[in-house]
Chain A
Amino acid sequence: AQSVTQLDSHVSVSEGTPVLLRCNYSSSYSPSLFWYVQHPNKGLQLLLKYTSAATLVKGINGFEAEFKKSETSFHLTKPSAHMSDAAEYFCVVSDPDGGGFKTIFGAGTRLFVKA
C-alpha cells in the first residue's frame, strides 16, 4: 500500500534563507515521486519528479529534491527563498507498475516567505 506524509503543514522562512519541505513515503513498489506547487487560486504545477534515475532531482525555479530510499524520504529544498515561492506544496507518490492510477497526494505544506 502507498502513503505519503508531509511532516509540516506550515513552514515559514525569511526571504533569502533556505527552504526545506519534508516528505516521507511508503510504497510496495519502486515509486515515482513528485512535488507540485499550487499558488493561490491556481491549479497545481509540476515542480519536479523522480523516476528511479538520479537520486538528486532538479526542478523548476531553483528547487531540488533528493530521493533517499533508506529513509523513505523525498524532501524538497531551495537554497534561497523568494517571495514568489509562497504557495502550497504537495508531495505525491505514484505506483508506476500498478494496473490502475495509484497516485496519492500528501496533505500539503504551506510555505510562507517573510520579507
Chain B
Amino acid sequence: DVKVTQSSRYLVKRTGEKVFLECVQDMDHENMFWYRQDPGLGLRLIYFSYDVKMKEKGDIPEGYSVSREKKERFSLILESASTNQTSMYLCASSPPRQLARSLFFGEGSRLTVL
C-alpha cells in the first residue's frame, strides 16, 4: 500500500518557536506538497516541490519555508511560529505530470501555537 507519513500528528508550540513538520513518502513520487487546512477554507497550498532541492511557492507561503534534501522527504519549517499558524497541515505527493494527477495524502499534523 502506498504511504505518506507525517511524523507528528499533534504538536503544541509557543509563539516564536521554530517548528519542523516532516513528511516521508514511499512511492518514489517526484512531486510533494504542503497544504494548510482551515474550517470553511478547504485546503490552501503553502509550498510544493517537483524534484530534490527544488521548491515553488504556493498560494500562502508567508511565514513558512521548506526543505527537500531527499526525494522521499519534504519538510515544512515555521521559523517563528505565530498563533495564526494554528492549523491542520497536510502533506501530499503525486507522480510526475500527467493528465488528472491524483494526490496521496498523509494523515495530517495538527499544530497549536500558544
Q: Could you list which residues of chain A lie within 8 angstroms of chain B, going by C-beta atoms?
A: 9, 32, 34, 36, 41-46, 49-52, 90, 94, 96, 100-101, 103, 105-108
In the complex, chain B residues whose CB is within 8 Å of the CB of A51:
99-100
Q: Which of these binds chain A: B13-21, B36-44, B62-70, B71-79?
A: B36-44
Q: When each residue 69-103 of chain B gets 1 if its CB lies under 8 Å from chain A and 0 otherwise, what string results? A: 00000000000000000000010100000011111
Other-chain residue from B40, B41, B100, B108 in contact with A43 (beta carbon distance below 8 A): B108
Q: What are 24 inter-chain pairs, A to B, with CB distance below 8 A?
A: A9-B40, A32-B99, A32-B100, A32-B101, A34-B100, A41-B107, A42-B107, A42-B108, A43-B4, A43-B106, A44-B103, A44-B105, A49-B102, A52-B99, A90-B43, A94-B100, A96-B100, A96-B101, A100-B56, A101-B31, A101-B50, A106-B42, A107-B41, A107-B42
Q: Give the total of B residues in contact with A, Cβ under 8 Å.
A: 24
In the complex, chain A residues whose CB is within 8 Å of the CB of B108:
41-43
Q: Closest A-chain residue to B31, C-beta based? A: A101
Q: Closest B-chain residue to A91, C-beta based? A: B42
Give the docked Cα–Cα distance between A42 and B42 (Å): 15
Given A32-B99, A34-B100, A96-B100, A90:B42 Cβ within 8 A = yes
Give the docked Cα–Cα distance between A94 and B41 (Å): 17
Q: Closest A-chain residue to B102, C-beta based? A: A46
Q: Which interface residue of A43, A49, A96 has the most chain B CB atoms within 10 A?
A: A43
